[in-house]
Amino acid sequence: MDIGFIGLGEMGAAMVANLLKAGHTVRVWNRTPEKAEALAAAGARAVAAPAEAFTGDAVISMLADDAALREVVDATLLEHAPRGLVHVNMATISVALAETLAREHAELGLHYVAAPVLGRPDAAAAAKLTIIAGGAAEAIDRVQPLFDAIGQKTWRIGALPQQANVMKLAANFMLAAAVEALGEAAALLGGHGVAMRDFLDVVTAGPFPGPVYAGYGGMIAEDRYEPALFKARLGLKDVRLALAAADAVATPLPVASVLRDSLLEAVAHGDGERDFAVLGKVAARRAGRA
Protein backbone atom coordinates (compact mmCIF):
# COMPACT_ATOMS: atom_id res chain seq x y z
CA MET A 1 0.00 0.00 0.00
CA ASP A 2 0.96 3.62 -0.45
CA ILE A 3 0.62 5.31 2.89
CA GLY A 4 1.60 8.34 4.89
CA PHE A 5 2.91 8.22 8.47
CA ILE A 6 2.93 11.18 10.82
CA GLY A 7 4.86 11.13 14.07
CA LEU A 8 8.19 9.35 14.30
CA GLY A 9 8.81 8.93 17.99
CA GLU A 10 10.17 5.68 19.33
CA MET A 11 6.91 3.85 18.68
CA GLY A 12 6.24 5.44 15.31
CA ALA A 13 9.72 4.84 13.95
CA ALA A 14 9.54 1.16 14.87
CA MET A 15 6.17 0.84 13.16
CA VAL A 16 7.44 2.47 9.98
CA ALA A 17 10.41 0.14 9.88
CA ASN A 18 8.07 -2.85 9.98
CA LEU A 19 5.75 -1.36 7.36
CA LEU A 20 8.72 -0.91 5.04
CA LYS A 21 9.87 -4.45 5.68
CA ALA A 22 6.40 -5.66 4.70
CA GLY A 23 6.79 -3.89 1.34
CA HIS A 24 4.61 -0.84 1.85
CA THR A 25 5.47 2.57 0.45
CA VAL A 26 5.66 5.03 3.34
CA ARG A 27 5.76 8.81 3.13
CA VAL A 28 6.93 9.99 6.55
CA TRP A 29 6.64 13.32 8.27
CA ASN A 30 7.85 14.46 11.67
CA ARG A 31 8.04 17.83 13.32
CA THR A 32 11.80 17.52 13.67
CA PRO A 33 12.95 16.29 10.24
CA GLU A 34 16.04 14.38 11.44
CA LYS A 35 13.92 11.41 12.38
CA ALA A 36 12.32 11.27 8.94
CA GLU A 37 15.74 11.37 7.32
CA ALA A 38 16.94 8.46 9.42
CA LEU A 39 14.04 6.35 8.16
CA ALA A 40 14.70 7.45 4.59
CA ALA A 41 17.80 5.32 4.72
CA ALA A 42 15.52 2.34 5.34
CA GLY A 43 13.39 3.18 2.33
CA ALA A 44 10.86 5.69 3.61
CA ARG A 45 10.19 8.89 1.67
CA ALA A 46 10.49 11.96 3.89
CA VAL A 47 7.98 14.66 3.03
CA ALA A 48 8.08 18.32 3.93
CA ALA A 49 4.54 18.85 5.15
CA PRO A 50 1.84 16.79 6.90
CA ALA A 51 -0.46 17.30 3.88
CA GLU A 52 1.94 15.26 1.73
CA ALA A 53 1.57 12.39 4.17
CA PHE A 54 -2.18 12.85 4.43
CA THR A 55 -2.91 11.24 1.07
CA GLY A 56 -2.55 7.92 -0.76
CA ASP A 57 -4.34 4.76 0.40
CA ALA A 58 -4.19 5.59 4.06
CA VAL A 59 -2.36 7.66 6.63
CA ILE A 60 -1.29 6.63 10.10
CA SER A 61 -0.71 9.16 12.86
CA MET A 62 1.25 8.45 16.03
CA LEU A 63 1.70 11.78 17.78
CA ALA A 64 2.46 12.40 21.44
CA ASP A 65 -0.82 13.72 22.77
CA ASP A 66 -4.02 15.62 22.05
CA ALA A 67 -2.27 18.94 21.60
CA ALA A 68 0.37 17.60 19.21
CA LEU A 69 -2.28 15.82 17.17
CA ARG A 70 -4.63 18.77 17.01
CA GLU A 71 -1.82 21.06 15.90
CA VAL A 72 -1.07 18.87 12.91
CA VAL A 73 -4.48 17.42 12.09
CA ASP A 74 -6.41 20.66 11.87
CA ALA A 75 -9.36 21.82 9.77
CA THR A 76 -7.14 22.88 6.89
CA LEU A 77 -5.39 19.54 6.64
CA LEU A 78 -8.66 17.62 6.70
CA GLU A 79 -10.32 19.85 4.12
CA HIS A 80 -7.50 19.24 1.67
CA ALA A 81 -7.35 15.49 2.22
CA PRO A 82 -8.64 13.30 -0.63
CA ARG A 83 -12.20 12.02 -0.09
CA GLY A 84 -12.23 8.40 1.01
CA LEU A 85 -8.83 8.52 2.67
CA VAL A 86 -8.55 6.31 5.74
CA HIS A 87 -6.86 8.03 8.65
CA VAL A 88 -5.69 5.59 11.31
CA ASN A 89 -4.78 7.23 14.56
CA MET A 90 -2.77 4.82 16.67
CA ALA A 91 -1.78 7.22 19.43
CA THR A 92 -3.38 7.25 22.87
CA ILE A 93 -5.54 10.34 22.87
CA SER A 94 -8.53 11.52 24.84
CA VAL A 95 -11.91 9.97 24.24
CA ALA A 96 -13.31 13.45 23.71
CA LEU A 97 -10.87 14.26 20.92
CA ALA A 98 -11.47 10.88 19.31
CA GLU A 99 -15.17 11.67 19.18
CA THR A 100 -14.49 15.06 17.65
CA LEU A 101 -12.13 13.65 15.05
CA ALA A 102 -14.57 10.91 14.10
CA ARG A 103 -17.25 13.51 13.48
CA GLU A 104 -14.98 15.88 11.58
CA HIS A 105 -13.71 13.13 9.31
CA ALA A 106 -17.20 11.86 8.59
CA GLU A 107 -18.42 15.33 7.66
CA LEU A 108 -15.65 15.59 5.08
CA GLY A 109 -16.07 12.11 3.62
CA LEU A 110 -12.93 10.79 5.29
CA HIS A 111 -12.64 7.58 7.29
CA TYR A 112 -11.37 7.73 10.83
CA VAL A 113 -10.11 4.60 12.52
CA ALA A 114 -8.89 4.67 16.10
CA ALA A 115 -6.31 1.95 16.60
CA PRO A 116 -4.42 2.44 19.85
CA VAL A 117 -1.91 -0.26 20.70
CA LEU A 118 -0.89 -2.28 23.70
CA GLY A 119 2.82 -2.82 23.89
CA ARG A 120 5.94 -0.84 24.54
CA PRO A 121 8.70 0.12 22.08
CA ASP A 122 10.28 -3.32 22.27
CA ALA A 123 6.99 -4.90 21.16
CA ALA A 124 6.69 -2.30 18.41
CA ALA A 125 10.18 -3.14 17.15
CA ALA A 126 9.30 -6.84 17.11
CA ALA A 127 6.00 -6.23 15.26
CA LYS A 128 4.24 -7.74 18.23
CA LEU A 129 1.87 -4.97 19.16
CA THR A 130 -1.71 -5.69 20.12
CA ILE A 131 -3.99 -3.42 18.13
CA ILE A 132 -7.41 -2.32 19.35
CA ALA A 133 -9.31 -1.05 16.33
CA GLY A 134 -12.52 0.95 16.38
CA GLY A 135 -14.31 2.31 13.32
CA ALA A 136 -16.25 1.22 10.26
CA ALA A 137 -15.51 -2.40 9.33
CA GLU A 138 -14.82 -1.57 5.67
CA ALA A 139 -12.30 1.08 6.66
CA ILE A 140 -10.54 -1.33 8.99
CA ASP A 141 -10.58 -3.98 6.27
CA ARG A 142 -8.65 -1.65 4.03
CA VAL A 143 -5.88 -1.03 6.56
CA GLN A 144 -5.72 -4.54 7.97
CA PRO A 145 -2.56 -5.30 5.93
CA LEU A 146 -0.88 -2.40 7.73
CA PHE A 147 -1.94 -3.76 11.12
CA ASP A 148 -0.63 -7.18 10.13
CA ALA A 149 2.76 -5.64 9.44
CA ILE A 150 3.13 -4.03 12.84
CA GLY A 151 1.09 -6.10 15.24
CA GLN A 152 0.52 -9.68 16.22
CA LYS A 153 -3.20 -9.37 16.75
CA THR A 154 -5.94 -6.91 15.85
CA TRP A 155 -9.04 -6.72 18.01
CA ARG A 156 -12.01 -5.11 16.28
CA ILE A 157 -14.19 -3.69 18.98
CA GLY A 158 -16.96 -1.87 17.15
CA ALA A 159 -18.00 0.93 14.86
CA LEU A 160 -17.37 3.88 17.18
CA PRO A 161 -13.68 4.80 17.01
CA GLN A 162 -13.60 6.38 20.47
CA GLN A 163 -14.55 3.07 22.06
CA ALA A 164 -11.13 1.77 21.08
CA ASN A 165 -9.63 4.66 23.03
CA VAL A 166 -11.74 3.88 26.07
CA MET A 167 -10.55 0.29 25.94
CA LYS A 168 -6.93 1.31 25.65
CA LEU A 169 -7.26 3.70 28.57
CA ALA A 170 -8.98 1.06 30.67
CA ALA A 171 -6.13 -1.35 29.92
CA ASN A 172 -3.47 1.15 30.87
CA PHE A 173 -5.41 2.04 33.99
CA MET A 174 -5.35 -1.62 35.00
CA LEU A 175 -1.66 -1.75 34.26
CA ALA A 176 -0.98 1.25 36.46
CA ALA A 177 -3.18 -0.21 39.20
CA ALA A 178 -1.15 -3.42 39.13
CA VAL A 179 2.11 -1.49 39.39
CA GLU A 180 0.82 0.63 42.28
CA ALA A 181 -0.34 -2.53 44.05
CA LEU A 182 3.11 -4.06 43.52
CA GLY A 183 4.67 -0.92 44.96
CA GLU A 184 2.44 -0.90 48.01
CA ALA A 185 2.95 -4.62 48.53
CA ALA A 186 6.70 -4.08 48.38
CA ALA A 187 6.44 -1.35 51.00
CA LEU A 188 4.42 -3.59 53.28
CA LEU A 189 6.83 -6.49 52.83
CA GLY A 190 9.85 -4.26 53.29
CA GLY A 191 8.45 -3.00 56.56
CA HIS A 192 8.43 -6.57 57.83
CA GLY A 193 11.79 -7.56 56.40
CA VAL A 194 10.42 -9.80 53.66
CA ALA A 195 12.25 -9.67 50.32
CA MET A 196 10.15 -8.43 47.40
CA ARG A 197 12.10 -10.85 45.19
CA ASP A 198 10.83 -13.85 47.17
CA PHE A 199 7.30 -12.53 47.08
CA LEU A 200 7.47 -12.10 43.32
CA ASP A 201 8.65 -15.65 42.89
CA VAL A 202 5.58 -16.85 44.75
CA VAL A 203 2.95 -14.71 43.09
CA THR A 204 4.24 -14.88 39.54
CA ALA A 205 4.34 -18.67 39.79
CA GLY A 206 0.79 -18.51 41.13
CA PRO A 207 -1.99 -15.99 40.69
CA PHE A 208 -0.06 -13.40 38.70
CA PRO A 209 1.74 -14.90 35.72
CA GLY A 210 2.72 -12.82 32.73
CA PRO A 211 5.18 -10.05 32.04
CA VAL A 212 3.45 -7.22 33.90
CA TYR A 213 3.90 -8.50 37.45
CA ALA A 214 7.29 -10.07 36.76
CA GLY A 215 8.59 -7.08 34.85
CA TYR A 216 7.47 -4.10 36.87
CA GLY A 217 7.72 -6.08 40.09
CA GLY A 218 11.30 -6.92 39.22
CA MET A 219 12.18 -3.26 38.77
CA ILE A 220 10.64 -2.51 42.16
CA ALA A 221 12.49 -5.43 43.78
CA GLU A 222 15.75 -4.07 42.42
CA ASP A 223 14.79 -0.42 43.04
CA ARG A 224 16.06 0.27 39.52
CA TYR A 225 13.89 2.34 37.22
CA GLU A 226 16.06 2.83 34.21
CA PRO A 227 16.04 2.27 31.34
CA ALA A 228 12.39 3.31 31.32
CA LEU A 229 10.17 1.11 29.22
CA PHE A 230 7.10 3.13 30.13
CA LYS A 231 7.85 6.53 31.61
CA ALA A 232 6.04 7.73 34.73
CA ARG A 233 5.20 10.97 32.93
CA LEU A 234 3.42 9.05 30.18
CA GLY A 235 1.72 6.76 32.66
CA LEU A 236 0.38 9.88 34.36
CA LYS A 237 -0.84 11.19 31.02
CA ASP A 238 -2.84 8.01 30.44
CA VAL A 239 -4.29 7.99 33.95
CA ARG A 240 -5.40 11.58 33.42
CA LEU A 241 -7.11 10.53 30.18
CA ALA A 242 -8.83 7.62 31.91
CA LEU A 243 -10.09 9.95 34.64
CA ALA A 244 -11.32 12.41 32.04
CA ALA A 245 -13.12 9.67 30.11
CA ALA A 246 -14.71 8.48 33.36
CA ASP A 247 -15.64 12.03 34.37
CA ALA A 248 -17.48 12.46 31.08
CA VAL A 249 -19.81 9.62 32.06
CA ALA A 250 -19.98 10.53 35.78
CA THR A 251 -18.02 7.47 36.87
CA PRO A 252 -15.84 7.64 39.97
CA LEU A 253 -12.58 5.68 39.72
CA PRO A 254 -11.08 5.84 43.20
CA VAL A 255 -8.06 3.71 42.36
CA ALA A 256 -7.32 5.91 39.35
CA SER A 257 -7.42 8.90 41.69
CA VAL A 258 -4.82 7.22 43.88
CA LEU A 259 -2.71 6.48 40.80
CA ARG A 260 -2.86 10.08 39.71
CA ASP A 261 -1.72 11.26 43.11
CA SER A 262 1.09 8.72 43.27
CA LEU A 263 2.32 9.52 39.77
CA LEU A 264 2.17 13.24 40.48
CA GLU A 265 4.32 12.55 43.53
CA ALA A 266 6.80 10.68 41.35
CA VAL A 267 6.97 13.58 38.93
CA ALA A 268 7.29 16.06 41.80
CA HIS A 269 10.34 14.15 43.00
CA GLY A 270 12.02 14.25 39.62
CA ASP A 271 11.15 10.72 38.51
CA GLY A 272 8.88 11.58 35.59
CA GLU A 273 11.33 10.24 33.01
CA ARG A 274 11.97 7.02 34.93
CA ASP A 275 9.91 3.90 34.42
CA PHE A 276 6.55 4.16 36.07
CA ALA A 277 7.54 1.30 38.31
CA VAL A 278 8.86 4.23 40.37
CA LEU A 279 5.46 3.90 42.00
CA GLY A 280 7.38 1.47 44.19
CA LYS A 281 9.69 4.27 45.24
CA VAL A 282 6.74 6.52 45.99
CA ALA A 283 5.22 3.85 48.24
CA ALA A 284 8.55 3.34 50.02
CA ARG A 285 9.01 7.08 50.50
CA ARG A 286 5.61 7.40 52.15
CA ALA A 287 6.77 4.79 54.64
CA GLY A 288 9.98 6.70 55.27
CA ARG A 289 12.11 4.12 53.51
CA ALA A 290 13.25 5.78 50.28
Shortest distance (Å) from residue 245 CB to a second copy: 6
Biggest CA pair distance of the chain: 64
Note the Cα 280 to chain centre separation in Å. Answer: 22
Neighbours of 276 (CB within 10 A): 32
By beta-carbon proximity to a second copy, the closer residue of 60 and 283 is 283
Note the Cα 123 to chain centre separation in Å. Answer: 12
35 is catalytic: no
* Interatomic CA distance for residues 117 and 132, integer angstroms: 6
Shortest distance (Å) from residue 35 CB to a second copy: 28
Choice among 21, 35, 153, 168 that is catalytic: 168
Q: Which of 64, 53, 57, 61 is nearest to 15 (CA)?
A: 61
By beta-carbon proximity to a second copy, the closer residue of 20 and 220 is 220
Shortest distance (Å) from residue 141 CB to a second copy: 19
- Bridge partners (DSSP) listed for residue 114: 89, 134
Shortest distance (Å) from residue 91 CB to a second copy: 18
By beta-carbon proximity to a second copy, the closer residue of 76 and 257 is 257
Using the CB atoms, write b or e for 132-142: b if 16+ within 10 Å.
bbbbbeebbeb
Active site residues: 168
